[in-house]
Structure 1
Amino acid sequence: MRTAGLRTAGLVLAGVLVLAGAVAGWAYLRLDGNIKSVDIDQALGDDRPPRRTPAPSASPVPEGPLNILVLGSDTRSGAENARLGGGDGGGGRSDVTMIVHLDAGRTSATVVSIPRDTLVDRPSCPLPSGGRTQPRQGAMFNTAYELGGPVCAVKTVERLTDIRMDHYVEIDFAGFAALVDAVGGVTVTTEQDIDDEDSHLRLDEGTHLLDGEQALALARTRHGIGDGSDLGRIGLQQQLVEALLEQISSGGLFTDPARLYRIADTVTGSLTTDTGLDSLGELTDLGGSLAGLSADRVETVLMPVVQAPWNRNRVVADEPEAEELWESLR
């Protein structure tokens, strides 16, 4: 009886392990298959700033600094994006643009926000159809993504900064809102009442725990804060990034596999990346290299800008301060 019991227990345990392995394999394949990608290297070829990150080595932490272009897009695709303000159709704009610069040791980071209203020299960009966009001087920055998608967004940022973007990551409206909900919301403090009829956000001055939809509305708010320009909105976006990092680092996510999976499923289902980050393994490797990076070692800054002399509703790079910032990230 004892031998039969042990044999039965062993078969049950083996069955559980096989089932667990199958579930884990299914989960990996699902998460891996969620991620959409764009081959930016192939599209842009050699017409780019030089790559400064050394070739991969055996070190568990990748060597050299890393620059990642992160975009939040108001894509019109999908019912949830439309409900959250993305509108109809399949196009979109880059509502949020940040360059995330990771230092060589991955122990500190600088996040630089580029105002969407910045006037730039937009280069000619290749299109998936085989054609090209027309170059234009003094174009609004976010038209690059609107006309040429991720490839043109990367090319325009590289032309503006002379910095090679090692990777590209894009998250849409629905993905950002779902991520905030998945981590339990974010806590922010507003220094004035907010009542923005465009973002539909109403908050009294003070500290608030925001859900995903409220956080998205805050990221889109510009009217009724500061001078009503995009610069005030960027300040709110940077505050949200810091609050989200704090929540992730202090929320005990890595001790709750089921919750971690839900968050991973949410994030990967809303991501578009370059082909260097389009697998769960590559994203996991990047995340693992950031184990020593704490939220208090992340600095958020705004690209130095001044009001455009010929258009009070637009801004241009403030030189030489902007060039000094880009030089520090090269």
Structure 2
Amino acid sequence: MLLQRVSYRPTRLLPGGGVDRGESPARGAARELEEELGVTETVTRGLAVDWVSPTGRTTPPAMKFPGELLHVFDGGVWDDDQIAAIRPAPGEIDDIEFVEPADLPALMAHDDARRALSALRARINGAGPVFLEDGLPIAPTVLDRVGVLRTARARHHFPFHPNPVPAGLTVRQSWVWAFASDGRVLVLLEPDTGAACLPGGTPEPQDGGDPAATVVREAREEAAAELAVARYLGYLSAPDEPCARARYAAALTRIGPAPVDPANGRTYVRILATPEQVLEFFDWGPSAAAEQLRAVHQARALLGIPEAAHQPVTELTDPASW
């Protein structure tokens, strides 16, 4: 996420600022982008509207701060050319940096970090702009409740290979894109950290050397999820690690009451998310993520499962069958 360093504050800021008289918030955000960074963008998608109370921001009493409304917009995903074209305004913006969302509380003022993380969760959830009070949503979603993005995502920029694992290369991990009948995928959220994972894990002796058996067993142990036959997608490789991380796709047939994972003692929060939403929970790198997503949708079609409609994530709390 892009942050700005400015000389007049010790903490980082999002691009933006106050609106001019008679100016709409969206036009104001676009104008500030151009003035501060030299970037011309049309701002069309709102993420959050935050009511900042008189006690919600630390200000000198002499300011008699009355409270204010702050609008947060989605600036989109910028490619390398757009980033290279950034020209910070001399004398106003010292520098810019892209940071992991989990680092926002350490770099921004507390209220700014709360607002930015709430806006990011709203962006993933995709239900439209959320209303905040002092940076916190008035109607928290499961992503807010669990605190998604408060823990740094593991950086796994590993190449994805849509072909069989080479002979002699050990499969160290095996994970599955488990599809419900509406095209959404099962994701597990750690309740104590907010970190996300797909069902799967490390092969064990009872799997008989079959990575597909690993994902079936792990989905059952971690999420009480039953899978139909798993379809192989490909594997990930790390340059400094002679092993493979296998990826599969399968149709969900049933999910039971949330179990305690015997491997770590956690009871995961289980959600359904579109494949595109799933990518937001991880840091896989743009190229490998796009290639894996392409393979996932090809497997989904072969499984006879429709493409998921754009919708908010759903928490799975009760048993269900597909």
TM-score above 0.5, yes or no = no
TM-score by length of 2: 0.23
Structure with the larger helix share: 1
